Amino acid sequence: MLKIALSKGRIFEDTLPLLAQAGIEAVDNPKTSRKLILDTNQDDIKLVVIRASDVPTYVEYGAADIGVAGKDVLMEYDNDDLYEPLDLKIAQCKMMVAGFKDADIPNHRRLRIATKYVNITQRYFAEQGRQVEIIKLYGSMELAPIVNLADLIVDLVETGNTLKANGLVPLEHIADISSRLVVNKAAMKMQHEKIKDLLNHLGKAVAAK
Ligand code: PRT
Ligand code: MG
């Protein structure tokens, strides 16, 4: 049995066509079904539907053999106990530092950065030798500078519309983000042929887009 972990939303929408090109189709309708394990047209392949940020955990522990996760989630998880053999080039966006255009940056205290990406933010500013105080939020980061909770935010930017709607601008580029296929290390050994075959098909589907 091969279990593939996916999150609902944009990753699911963009991964399904790639899987279809590899001959794998969900039998249950993923949009309407409340099942967390979806059957596919192949008896030995199931789709496991979980939170985006839980995908690396499931795959690392072998609860899923394969997963699809945003590079943001993988950078934040920061663990090399996973193989990351394929860039699916879906759900693309950028990890950015953002804030007010002409914000006057305080010099009597450390910069305050609001983000849900604490590890990425920590590493980014540490590499530059900039002392910051990181404020962990779980969503709506764009609000933080407006209500004076933080000077800057670190978040994903796709069109830039969310920043713009809140009077913010992208200031510094941290990383280009897309979704990656991740594979459990033991599964890669134990189910090598099956996984290699899937990787081949998906690689071709990505290249054909
Ligand atoms: O379920 P949970 O909330 O824990 O997970 P999630 O919110 O990470 O899931 P989801 O489905 O929203 O995102 C899954 C993955 O999609 C992310 O991990 C990214 O790799 C990728 N992705 C690509 C994005 C975006 N583009 C994106 N624009 N994820 C989030 N956004 C958000 C961003 O955080 C900001 O709030 O969209 C807003 C900005 O969009 P623009 O177009 O206004 O710039
Ligand atoms: Mg979300």
Identify the CATH class of 93-176.
Answer: alpha beta
For the chain, domain boundaries? 2-91+178-208, 93-176
Supply φ then ψ for residue 136, to 5 degrees.
Answer: -75, 125
Smallest CA separation from ligand 1 atom 16, residue: 91
pLDDT in tens, 91-102: 999 999 999 998
Phi, psi of 35 (to 5 degrees): -65, 145
User: Which run of H or E residues covers position 72?
Assistant: helix 71-77
Q: Measured from the CB, is residue 14 less than 6 Å from ligand 1?
A: no
Q: What is the pLDDT of residues 109-121, one digit of tens each?
A: 899 999 999 999 9
> 2-91+178-208 with 93-176: one CATH topology?
yes
Q: What does the pLDDT average to over 151-171?
A: 98
93 lines ligand 1 (CB under 6 A): yes
Are 117 and 95 in contact, with CB atoms under 8 Å apart?
Answer: yes
Give pLDDT tens digits for 40-54: 999 999 999 999 999
What pTM, to 2 d.p., does this model score? 0.95
pLDDT for 103 equals 78
Closest approach atom of ligand 1 to CA 9: 11
Longest dimension (CA), the chain: 63
Distance (Å) from CA 69 to ligand 2 centroid: 13
Domain 2-91+178-208 has CATH 3.40.50.11290: no
State how far the Cα of 189 lies from the Cα of 186, in Å rounded to an integer.
Answer: 5
